[in-house]
Chain A
Amino acid sequence: MARSTSKDAQALFQSLRSAYVATPSSLKIIDLYVCFAVFTAIIQVVYMAVVGSFPFNSFLSGVLSCVGTAVLAVCLRIQVNKENKEFKDLPPERAFADFVLCNLVLHLVIMNFLG
């Protein structure tokens, strides 16, 4: 097997980007949303590491709201992806309605647990 070089990595990223350009814009929006949620979660974890775990319930609800958001968004992305044959019978309107309902439940729980 040939030795990998930085050239190979560059080629890999290039092909990834070119492949990603072909992704429908609705999925890109979801990706952006997931990145936002994960980034917010990381900020909170870093903050907790700095100031300590008190109040722990607030920390948990803050982080879990981000994680839950990201998970639900990923689920939505799976269901509305046209190339995913598993959910080809599921209309995207139905998937989005599920997503909204789950988010409402998630935030209800988060608000209660926030302290």
Chain B
Amino acid sequence: MVKLCVLIAAVSLLPILCLSFSPDNPTDRRVLVLLDDLSLKSSHSIFFNSIKSRGFDVDFKLADDPKLSLQRYGQYLYDALILFSPSTDRFGGSLDLAGVLDFVDSGHDLILAADESASDLIRNIATECGVDFDEDSSAIVIDHKSYAVSETEGDHTLIVSDDFIQSDVILGSTKVEAPVLYKGIAHSVNAANSLVLKVLSASPSAYSANPSSKLSSPPLLSGSAISLVSVVQARNNARITITGSLDMFSNRLLRSGVQKAGDSNKYSKSGNEQFVTELSRWVFHERGHLKAVNLRHHKVGETDEPAIYRINDDLEFSVEIYEWSGKSWEPYVTNDVQVQFYMMSPYVLKTLSTDQKGLYHTSFKVPDVYGVFQFKVEYQRLGYTALSLSKQIPVRPFRHNEYERFIPTAFPYYGASFTTMAGFFIFSIVYLYNK
């Protein structure tokens, strides 16, 4: 009886367990936060609470925790990793640089924040993601024009920036009104890496140098080349955020008012909270995650999907595209999805029309070429996960009995052939009886 109860309990728990591995729910569920110091838990509590309130299991650990492990028995224990441990030289337990990169390579997400104490380990993780922190370990971002006004005239290392990336999907549809406060080190994005994007850039007057020493040579990084916050969306849709400022997430800057130097607008609250919350929503796949389902095609006037098309057939193609809203799949509405009818090069490229409910459809004529074709939908848009669908379909030529017979244009040729035959007959008679 007890055994039966256990069995029933196990079976009833199974769907819940399965849910946590469901590919139908792309949002991360379990987040591991690695800290240098557990005091960060309270000093950055607003940020962590906003994550928790969105339904994530947040697990705090010290970066040098000897039992630290991202996976057990080949299964990852977490969906996302937040590295708020800039000064860690090496992680505890079995985690290392390769472990973090493998975590990302298997499609998991990462938020990395450094500061002026950034260790080589943290710098290397960033470099592997296409972001290079300033090599001078004493340099931090200084801006004598767009610094944050405060009571004491400081060294202008607390800077403000409102140079956001123009993307509703990454930063949310509500514009970040107040500028973002930033105090930390500069990085540049690797020009060879096409996947990394600058989300928050420094102003043209910013530069990266040691504030306490006199500048003897031009700074390595300056102006808009300095990126303050960068994101990467890998080809496997893993998302990474990298920033050189751990303070950006702190309660102090989230709650602080902001006034840009030389600007009379004084905001009672900085844009940091909205910025980091929206960015973390994007990183944790609560926004901008697309899926394409129900790729269908059939001949015009039919409903069944054929195994093969004939050249010059008219066909209809449809696919449904949905966007994950964090809770459910919502129809994705846009006007720039295209389908290719592809055999080594696209023979047909058509923009799909939408019914505003997620269904995209079009119709076209199969080209006058036979071979093995593919329907291809390649959809890559800034901030959205890439869609790459292909479905193979062969196209055959006409069968011997599918060609036209007795074409009116050819009647003179038919006539000529029969005339020569008749002519041959008459000629034979005339020739034989002519004596």
Which B residues are in CB contact (< 8 Å) with A36?
Answer: 423
A29-B420 contact in complex given A114-B413, A115-B405, C-beta closer than 8 Å: no
Choose, from B50-58, B230-238, B426-434, the stretch at the interface: B426-434
A40-B428 contact in complex given A54-B409, A55-B407, A115-B410, C-beta closer than 8 Å: no
A107 and chain B: residue at smallest CB distance: B421
Binary B-proximity of A16-59 (CB < 8 A = 1, otherwise 0): 00000000011001100100110011011001000110110011
Q: Are A59 and B413 in contact (CB under 8 A)?
A: yes
CB distance from B86 to the nearest CB of A (A): 75
Which A residues are in CB contact (< 8 Å) with B414?
Answer: 58, 62, 114
CB distance from B74 to the nearest CB of A (A): 64
Q: Are A44 and B409 in contact (CB under 8 A)?
A: no
Which B residues are in CB contact (< 8 Å) with A114?
Answer: 413-414, 417
Q: Are A44 and B412 in contact (CB under 8 A)?
A: yes
Binary A-proximity of B393-435 (CB < 8 A = 1, otherwise 0): 0000000000111010110111011011101100110111010
Q: Are B427 and A47 in contact (CB under 8 A)?
A: no
Q: Are B428 and A100 in contact (CB under 8 A)?
A: yes
Number of interface residues of A (CB under 8 A): 33
Asked if A79 is at the interface (CB within 8 A of a chain B CB), the reply is no
Q: Are A55 and B409 in contact (CB under 8 A)?
A: yes
Q: Are A62 and B423 in contact (CB under 8 A)?
A: no
* Chain A interface, >50% SS class: helix
Which B residues are in CB contact (< 8 Å) with A100?
Answer: 428
Cα A35 to Cα B409 with chains together (Å): 25
CB distance from A34 to the nearest CB of B (A): 10
A69-B424 contact in complex given A59-B410, A115-B410, C-beta closer than 8 Å: yes
A58-B413 contact in complex given A30-B431, A115-B407, C-beta closer than 8 Å: yes
Cα A65 to Cα B410 with chains together (Å): 14
Cα A69 to Cα B417 with chains together (Å): 10
Q: Are A58 and B428 in contact (CB under 8 A)?
A: no
Q: How many A-B residue pairs have CB under 8 A?
A: 76
Binary A-proximity of B11-35 (CB < 8 A = 1, otherwise 0): 0000000000000000000000000
Cβ 8 A contact of B416, one of A26, A44, A115 = A44
Q: Are B417 and A61 in contact (CB under 8 A)?
A: yes
Cα A26 to Cα B432 with chains together (Å): 9
Q: Are B421 and A25 in contact (CB under 8 A)?
A: no
Cα A65 to Cα B428 with chains together (Å): 16
Cα A58 to Cα B405 with chains together (Å): 11
Cα A110 to Cα B416 with chains together (Å): 11
A96-B431 contact in complex given A58-B407, A103-B424, A114-B413, C-beta closer than 8 Å: yes
Cα A55 to Cα B413 with chains together (Å): 10
Which B residues are in CB contact (< 8 Å) with A44?
Answer: 412-413, 416
Cα A114 to Cα B417 with chains together (Å): 8
Q: Are A61 and B413 in contact (CB under 8 A)?
A: yes
Most chain A CB within 10 A, of B405, B423, B432, is at B423
CB distance from B409 to the nearest CB of A (A): 6
Which B residues are in CB contact (< 8 Å) with A65?
Answer: 416-417, 420-421
A43-B405 contact in complex given A33-B427, A107-B421, C-beta closer than 8 Å: no
Cα A26 to Cα B409 with chains together (Å): 37
Q: Are B413 and A107 in contact (CB under 8 A)?
A: no
A76 and chain B: residue at smallest CB distance: B431
Which B residues are in CB contact (< 8 Å) with A103?
Answer: 424
Binary A-proximity of B330-374 (CB < 8 A = 1, otherwise 0): 000000000000000000000000000000000000000000000
CB distance from B312 to the nearest CB of A (A): 15
Q: Are B434 and A33 in contact (CB under 8 A)?
A: no
Asked if A111 is at the interface (CB within 8 A of a chain B CB), the reply is yes
A110 and chain B: residue at smallest CB distance: B417
Q: Are B416 and A40 in contact (CB under 8 A)?
A: yes
B residues with a Cβ closer than 8 A to A are 403-405, 407, 409-410, 412-414, 416-417, 419-421, 423-424, 427-428, 430-432, 434
Top 6 nearest A-B pairs (CB, nearest first) are A62-B413, A58-B410, A58-B413, A62-B416, A33-B427, A65-B417
30 contacts between A and B (CB under 8 A): A26-B431, A26-B434, A29-B434, A30-B427, A30-B431, A33-B423, A36-B423, A37-B420, A37-B423, A44-B413, A44-B416, A47-B412, A54-B409, A55-B404, A55-B409, A55-B410, A61-B413, A61-B417, A62-B414, A63-B413, A65-B416, A65-B417, A66-B420, A69-B423, A69-B424, A100-B428, A107-B420, A114-B417, A115-B405, A115-B410
